[in-house]
Amino acid sequence: MPPLARRRTGFTLVELLVVIGIIAVLVGLLLPAVQKVRAAAARAKCANNLKQISLATHTHHDARTKLPGTEVTGSNPSTGTLIGVQGWAWKLFPYLEQGPTDAAFANNGSVSGLVGSGWAIGGPDSLNAVTFPILRCPSDPAMPPNGQWLAGSPGYYPPTPGDPYVLGLTSYGSMSGSQYPYSLTGPYNDGAFTSRPPLGLTDITDGTSTTILFAERTFKDENFSADKSVNLAYLESSLFDAGTLITFNFSPLPLGMNPTGPSLLANVPINYRIPAGVPDDAVELVYTNRFLSVGSEHNGGANVAFGDGSVRFLSDSLSPITFQALATVAGGETITEAL
Sign, CA torsion 27/30/36/37: negative
Identify the helix (H) or strand (E) that includes residue 324.
Answer: helix 320-327
Q: Across all residues in the chain, what is the average pLDDT?
A: 76
β-pair type (263-264, 172-175): parallel
Q: Tell how far CA 223 is from the center of its chain.
A: 19
Pairwise CA distance, residues 70 & 201, whole Å: 17
Alpha-carbon distance 185 to 195, whole Å?
8
Q: Is 176 helix (H, G, I), strand (E, B) or coil?
A: coil
How far apart are alpha carbons 122 and 112 in whole angstroms?
12
Q: Are 183 and 284 in contact (CB under 8 A)?
A: no
Whole-number pLDDT of residue 90: 80
- Residue 267 has φ and ψ, to the nearest 5°, of -80, -10
The answer to whether residues 109 and 76 touch, using CB atoms and an 8 Å cutoff, is no
Average pLDDT per block of 10 residues along the chain, 339 residues long: 59 81 85 82 96 96 88 54 64 87 66 41 70 89 77 43 66 86 56 82 95 91 62 43 55 42 86 84 79 91 97 96 95 90
Cβ distance 46 to 140 under 8 Å? no
Question: Looking at residue 26, what is its pLDDT?
Answer: 85
Report how far apart, in Å, the C-alpha atoms of 302 and of each of 148, 209, 318 are.
22, 17, 11
The string of pLDDT tens digits covering residues 228-244 is: 544 443 343 445 566 66
The predicted structure's pLDDT at residue 252: 40
For the beta sheet containing 212-216, the strands, ordered from the edge strand earlier in sequence to the opposite edge, are 263-264, 172-175, 212-216, 301-306, 311-315
Q: pLDDT tens digits for 249-300?
A: 443 443 334 445 678 889 899 999 888 887 877 777 787 788 889 999 999 9
Beta-sheet strands, E only, within the chain: 72-75, 82-86, 148-150, 166-168, 172-175, 212-216, 246-248, 263-264, 301-306, 311-315
Other beta carbons within 10 Å of 216 = 28
End-to-end CA, the chain: 84
Residue 311 CA to residue 303 CA, distance in Å, equals 7
Distance between CA 153 and CA 158 in Å, rounded?
A: 6
Residue 148 pairs in a beta bridge with: 168
Predicted local distance difference test score (pLDDT) of residue 48? 97
- Cα gap 32→156, rounded to integer Å: 43
Closest CA to 93 of 120, 44, 59: 59
pLDDT at 9: 64
Q: What is the pTM of this model?
A: 0.79
